[in-house]
Amino acid sequence: MIKNDLFLKALRGETVERPPVWMMRQAGRYLPEFQEIKAKYDFFTRCQTPELASEITVQPIRRYGMDAAILFSDILVIPQAMNIHVEMKPGIGPWVPDPIRSKKDLERVIVPDITETLGYVMDAIKMTKEKLNNEIPLIGFAGSPWTILCYCVQGQGSKNFDLAKEFCFTQPLAAHELLQKITDTTILYLKEKVKAGVNAVQVFDSWGGMLSPTDYQEFSWQYMQQIIDALKDETHVIAFGKGCWFALDTMAKSGASALGIDWTCSPRNARYLTGGKITLQGNFDPTRLFSPPSEIKKMVKQMIDEFGKDRYIVNLGHGILPNIPLENAGAFIEAVKEYKQD
């Protein structure tokens, strides 16, 4: 039994004394203890070495005592396993030297054997579970098929992912074939994560907001729905579409346990658009963590009051930024732990 199960209670929609809290990207770059590991090992070595990944996962828990841990990994381990070469270039970020731009390029893309290609992730989960010792739940994650496609086609990060969108609009059959391969791989991957011991999974659609509402349904949401359908009877699924407020009503009917909300959608609108019956997670602007700690605490209290303490998980509206002061991250967590309704 997990001792602190606030996070799981919130996902089940149960009444809680206070909402649970964790932060997207909490395992990583803003922590000095992470920077020490980063100085010795390159990015994918950190992801692919279970001892390092599990240590990085528990670092923020030791420091701040969040109510859930999220496994240190990356969404781009999926295309790597699918025979798409991905590097992490300093100063650039994700880099795909041979992007997928045609039907012919798709011939080399495989749906892999997960234990063979991504077994290191499962080993990291098992090691992390030992370190957590049933104190708090562990979250596993994957990128949405559309978000993965964006990197595989564009070849790197982008402000508008124009090449990825062009590929979808000019070669829709090839795009859907790639999206289905990513979806099939993601389902197999997340099922293995559940077997290895994660207590919930989150699907990150970081670039969903790049699409119009109609294109979102065609090129992103239908594939996320496949993932939710495949996993929802085995574990809790959190669906997070950044900039996708327009799809919240559809998402709320998907069978997901919770929906992530970004900071561009108010708590009131998020509750309204989702019908008020599903757990919501979010939505503090990560850049707001530069505000003074006393102000952060006030804003967090107000955010909880607006969302309501039940069916709610306190989080940021996207990942924590690398240069956030430690004290400010601490103020965010403390504000939730100190929360009392007026």
Residue 85 assigned as binding residue: no
Give 280's strand partners: 259, 312
Q: How far apart are CA 269 and CA 246, in angstroms?
A: 11
Tell me if 109 sits within 8 A of 174, measured CB to CB. no
Q: How far apart are CA 141 and CA 148, in angstroms?
A: 13
Residue 254 assigned as binding residue: no
With the C-alpha atoms ordered 159, 106, 191, 216, is the resulting torsion angle positive or negative?
positive
DSSP class of 320: P
- DSSP SS3 for 29: coil
Give 95's strand partners: 87, 156
Residue 26 assigned as binding residue: yes
Residue 272 assigned as binding residue: no
Residue 29 assigned as binding residue: yes
Phi, psi (rounded to 5 degrees) for 94: -60, 140
Residue 209 assigned as binding residue: no
Tell me if 53 sits within 8 A of 72, measured CB to CB. yes
Residue 318 assigned as binding residue: yes
Residue 229 assigned as binding residue: no
Residue 240 assigned as binding residue: no
Which residue is it, tokens 């990197």?
151
Residue 151 assigned as binding residue: yes
Question: What number of residues does the chain have?
Answer: 342
Instruction: State the alpha helices, DSSP H only, in the chain.
Output: 6-12, 32-40, 43-48, 50-64, 77-81, 114-132, 145-154, 162-170, 172-196, 213-216, 222-231, 248-252, 267-273, 293-307, 326-337
Strands (E), 135-217: 138-143, 200-205
Q: Which residue positions form the known binding site?
A: 25-29, 44, 74, 151, 206, 318
Which residues are annotated as part of the binding site for substrate?
25-29, 44, 74, 151, 206, 318
